[in-house]
Amino acid sequence: MRKHQIHQADCFDWLRGCPPQTIQAVCTDPPYGLIEFSEKELSKLRNGRGGVWRLPPTIGGHKRDPLPRFTVLTNEEKQNLRAFFRDWGGLLLDALVPGAHVCVAGHPILQHHVQGAMAEVGYEVRPAIMRLYFGFRGGDRPKNAEKEFPGVCVTPKGAYEPWMLFRKPLGERTVAENLRKWKTGGLRRLSADKPLPEVIPSGRTPKREEAISDHPCLKPQHFMRIIVRALLPLGEGVVLDPFMGSGSTIAAAEAVGYRSVGIEIDKDYFRLAEAAIPKLAALYPTFAGDSLEFDSSDYPQEAVEEAQLTMALAESPAHYRVRER
């Protein structure tokens, strides 16, 4: 039985009409109020004529000329970014029950702007969750001077993606009391003896998922199911994705058995999500986000080795010690 609802709408308008205290968790990858998802740039992307994107040309099968948008923001763009999250976070706060968690995909360069804006409108900033993977960001030599400066990289090679975590303040005196009344306030453990770790091994989205959803920012189901499952500590409530895209959050919620609501303003991505959600949810039928294990055949060997080390550290940190010099 389908447990999700999706709507083609502007999430700001949808949130204004959302009854207060009806959402127990949020998991989303916002457009950051920048220009990538403007009508002009989306048109370029869909017509195969490039566009301003923060992803390399090879990701998702799209050919585009990436620009380092996040490293060259003007002061005005930074102010607009913070205003975007203050406005969005303020509207969202009313819809959340006390103790609800909000998980937002981020970027190391933008993280402090988002956290600052969300704190200004009343959220508690919690420790971020790191999606560990061999990324495609950074590590490049100076543009148009690669041969002149072969030993220089402009930024470090990216190996993680921060997923910022926020919490609406508790409505009761303690987390236990909030859990009893609102079913929120904490995060669901992987199992009785394994808490949710701050670092989760991942990888680029597998090709079998990209074949289902042709979206430039599609997140892998392995990671999404772990995150979505964790956001409802008692497994009860509704998970909202106000920037749904092609529906990876909603598919993850469906796969772990949660109720969910997705909002997407773009009509093409909304239609894509309608078709993709049931197909993504049907993948990996034995995996419900309750472990860090994943199918290594979906990822390159270097990512598998890094993930195996991360899982070992997460599960038995006491077995590892810093070697004294």
30-56 per-position pLDDT tens digit: 986 555 555 665 566 556 655 444 433
* Residue 3 or residue 61, greater confidence: 3
| Span of 54-68, 78-92, 153-167, 252-266 with lowest mean pLDDT | 54-68
What's the whole-number mean pLDDT along residues 244-256? 96
For residue 178, give the 3-state DSSP assignment. Answer: helix
Query: Would you state the pLDDT for residue 322?
Result: 40
What's the whole-number mean pLDDT along residues 14-19? 97
**Which CATH topology does 4-317 take?**
Rossmann fold (3.40.50)
Query: Would you state the pLDDT for residue 42?
Result: 56
Query: Would you state the pLDDT for residue 66?
Result: 39
Query: Would you state the pLDDT for residue 307?
Result: 61
Q: Residues of the chain with pLDDT > 90: what percent?
A: 59
DSSP single-letter state for residue 296: G
Query: Would you state the pLDDT for residue 71?
Result: 58
How much is the pTM?
0.84
What's the whole-number mean pLDDT along residues 292-309? 63
What's the whole-number mean pLDDT along residues 105-120? 93
Q: What is the mean pLDDT of the chain?
A: 84
* Residue 203 or residue 303, greater confidence: 203
| Strand order across the beta sheet in which 238-241 lies | 4-8, 259-264, 238-241, 23-28, 96-105, 160-167, 124-132, 199-201
Residue 153 tokens read as 């990289």
What's the whole-number mean pLDDT along residues 303-308? 61
CA 200, CA 165: separation in Å to the nearest integer?
14
CA 135, CA 112: separation in Å to the nearest integer?
20
Query: Would you state the pLDDT for residue 299?
Result: 55
